Structure 1
Amino acid sequence: MFDTGVLTVSASEGSTAALVARHARIACEQFLEIDLVTDLFVMRCDEDARAGRNEAHHGEFAHVEIAGLLGLTETAAQRMIGLGCDLRWRLHQVRAAFASGRIDLAKAHAFSEALANVSDDALADIERRLLDGAERVSTTRLKDRARRLIARLDPEGARERRRRAVADRDVRVVARDDAMTQVDGLLPAEGGQILAGRLRAMSFDVCARDPRTYPQRRADALVALAAGHTHLECRCGLDNCTARADLGSAGTSGVTVQVHVGVNASTLLGLDDAPGYLSGYGPIDADLARELAADATWKQVLTLPDADRAASDTEAGSVLGIGRGHPSPRTSPVDVASRTRKRLQEKAYRPNAQLVEIVRTRDGACRFPNCGVQARACDLDHTIPFDHDDPARGGLTTETNLACLCRKHHRLKTLGYWAVRQIGRGRLEWSDPTGRITVTEPQGMFADGSSGEDLRTGVHGELLARLTDSRALAKLNYSAAELDLDYLLESRIPPRQRRRRGYTPRHSDTAATTHTAVAAAEDPPF
């Protein structure tokens, strides 16, 4: 009689449309509230000005009045005033989007915080780019996009803000209810990644029968680390615990935490100030990238810019190869795919180490919409499922059929709640249960098109020209980091032009030796 399936879908679509519309109406009301708060603040400022008070104290008690009117804390009232002032006198494009309901209060605050110290010259451009598609992303992803844009379009401002922020670093231990303590702190980006990596490593010291959850183990690892221990004791209570046998007496003391940084060769040489990328954090200014690179282990990452990808008609992402065994950018991906070893790899379920590294470097994080789980903690999922009975018929193990998904979103996709397909250049098109489409872009350190320029074009062409000119080469004053550029560029510079007095190559055809850098870096993919 009636197709209940169609009725269910229609009802679902109606509910989701109503939800989106209601959220937009609430956002409009939120804007009006913030605007009225700003009106009240301006009114009190005018009153103070007429009373002849010092301009620095105009409106200083407005937040107390607003907090009383709305039943808020004074801190929350101050935050509302700060947002309202930003919207009225500085963030004009964000104001229009908020007033129309395109973005809500949480995203308006995210814009205000992310763009707080951007220079006036770059503000309008960054604001416009950041608003593009802002209604479809979370505040976390919005702030990540802001860091990328600011690092690229306002590099000098980003450098100065980072230097000032480092001076405010601090860690606080605050007593909370129920005999608990909250640890709150602000660390430099590289220091935070070192701490996160060490806690993660220690959390896996235990055996599979340890009763604690991963967050509980991580919290216990911080206490153990502060107490001077190098590993986390297992709590399985068994005499034959495998963790004790694996750890022995050394524990995790010999583990070096990996801090991965991506940066252009031209930036390392000082030819430009393009931002670097710290895995797990996001864009960093060029000075910090050069500082971290100075005493680290390097890997060459060969990237393919959009123009070359379009010319070669490839659907692959921007990372063409990692390490010395990568194919030349002149090599057609079709030619590479025809090699026997690659064909065999495509039909194997588990990707080889190089392909794993390429996909994780490309994606940077879980590829589900608005998920921020780091790629190294994700599964590698076959977008088109692998056919174990006949691999040639199922989804092949290739970069264009692999993506990083955290365990939760991997299961969600596998169980069919959401559908996904690869649409080229590392992009994924997700379809939710109502058919709503969301496209996610790779978030890795080389995902930004501006950082994927080939050495043959633009400023990188200038770099290659200068490095292949023996007279220019002789004038360069090489630092410790720049010496390693021989490793990156040795295939492009004739040997006679690479010889410099007193220099011995530090790299060989064997695997690069791991050593501790300023940021305890191990094998970052430069």
Structure 2
Amino acid sequence: MGLPVEVAEIVGETREWEGRRWFPPGSQLAVCLSGGKERLADLTDGELLEVAAAARRQTSWAQARELAAIAELAGRRADGASEDDPRVLSAHESVTDEVAAALAVTGNAAATLVHLAERLADELPGTRQALEAGRIDLAKARVICDVTENLFGDVVGRLEAVALEKASGQTSGQLRRRVTRMARRLAPDAVEERKRDAVRGRRLEVWENPSGTANLALCDLPPEEVHAIYNKLSAAARGLKADGDPRPLGVLRVDLAKRLLGGAEFPDSVRALLAEAVEEPPEPQPADDVAVPALAAMVERRLAEVRARVSLDALPAAVRQTARRIHDDLAERRDAVCRGGEEAHGRPGYRPSTALRREIEARHATCVFPSCNRPSRRCDLDHTIPWRPGSTCRCNLAPLCRRHHRLKQSPGWTLHQIWPGLLVWTTPAGAWYIVRPDRT
């Protein structure tokens, strides 16, 4: 089949991308962008920038589709929600974890996506249309969503209109400053109340970096307090630099703050600032049981066969039944493996021994939900099959944070431990996620 007329005309020109800034995102632009990498070498500098800009427009269009799909799914789950039950997650929490698993993102990232999707669908239609048309990117859509949060309807509409006037030519930082100034003029009381709410939720956050280091942050403090702390550390750091300390100001600020948080007095910290050695983290211990990758591949193959032969409507039930059947088929072998360990297969009580808990926590360093990073030592040690008939055993225990413990009990979700440490989640939509042990 030939190309559409518009696309054929573009491809036929000597400089196909020059001056094509008007070309809208969508299926036709995808065709234009699908040329091989070698074609880029034939383009002028100006055309290369047009390609980069077109690719960004196409990305915005795709992200708008992603958010629209999430909003539609959230609406369906909300329509089918039953009465509140404290033993299970709400429909909104459940769909958030469903999105987290499907997109392989953290629960916080999924919650942000669901919230943004719902706001664009219901309260910010102009922002949704601008994102779909490629006039703004996802970062700018988030800025508009953030600044208009918890404001009245007419103010939201006016702020959105003001934001979109110049958003295409602004960075996200420029857009945020402009719209924030307008929000303070239009709804000063609401903006101040939002600030007070945020301060009431102030917190200390920790997260790890790809480099093996970690970050510590004080979040949602009043700006004047943050600047006062920063300025005090900066003044002390500049004093150390003036006395001949060769380290950068940023390093000195961090080392001062670290000593102060450790309990040292400020004058003592300034006088006795010392570099601290960073210990190398231990190497992770790989799983060495050859049965685990083979079983995981078998599960993936059998579930894929189900997806290939059943209709979409029947998929969720078929996937759950297949996962259950695999679990039951392996029961005898699984029990035999457990009986071969130092500890007998199954314990008489509900609570695992200290040794068994350590084994389970070593097997999974984090909660076993696919996108969760909560350390296993801070999780519940959950019986995959509830205790009685389920046993307290290495083949029926896994770390689950409190949120995903409740998710496991929510409608449409199932969790099977088909082998010690090898778990299969199935979602209300019929998707599945295989979780392997960090070590066996």
Band the TM-score falls in, shorter-chain normalisation: 0.3 to 0.5
Q: Which structure features the higher share of helix residues?
A: 2
TM-score, L = length of structure 1 = 0.39
